[in-house]
Amino acid sequence: MGNKQEELEAMVQQQSCDVVAITETWWDESHSWTTALDGYKLFRRDRKGRRGGEVALYIKTFDVIGIESNEDGVECLWVIIKGKANKADILLGACYCPPNQEEEVDNLFYKLLENASGSSVLVLVGDFNLPDICWELNTAEKGQSRKFLECMEDTFLLQLVDEPTRGRTMLDLLFANRDGLVGDVVVGV
């Protein structure tokens, strides 16, 4: 992030983003990221005991509550964006799943998602590193990916990204539990 900070700030201001999710931040103590973007509150979940990974959310000045998660190995960050004027609260999750993640960690993630799926408004975004999934046909070659698809179906999440996010694959995904909940989905550079 260090060498991308100015680029991120310019993009966020130009796009007028309400929420910015970042995976694989690789942040460390040498930077003060708590005030990195004016007008946004930063939430982050750092890896414990090893470098790399990590997720963060910048959220415009909405009424937001961070949710603590104690699941070791699951790189997910959850917040609640409080609804206004009789609108439902939004449960927002940002996740990073490293390639070939251990099955035990996958199962912890699926349990978290099962609990989160009880929310009336749920949005999940992240880098899931499952390149063998064909979202058009809802199929996958590997067992790990098939289990992921099954979890998304069981929690009634709709995948909203429809173009490759890295090379020819869709690794970075966006899910919602309702049609029309998320507006235009644009894949950036």
CA gap 148, 150 in Å, rounded:
5
Give residue 129's identity as a one-letter amino acid code. Answer: N
- Enumerate the domain spans of the chain: 2-176
- Give the tens place of pLDDT for each residue, 18-71: 888 888 776 666 555 555 677 888 887 776 666 656 788 888 877 877 777 766
Task: Write down the pTM of the prediction.
Answer: 0.85
- Indicate the range of 49-58, 96-105, 108-117 predicted with least confidence: 49-58
CA gap 179, 123 in Å, rounded:
11
Q: For domain 2-176, say whether CATH 3.40.50.20 is its number.
A: no
Residues 91, 116: contact at Cβ < 8 Å?
yes
- Which one-letter DSSP state was computed for residue 157? P
Give residue 151's identity as a one-letter amino acid code. Answer: C
- Give the tens place of pLDDT for each residue, 70-97: 666 788 899 998 887 778 899 999 999 9
CB neighbourhood size of 118 (10 A): 9
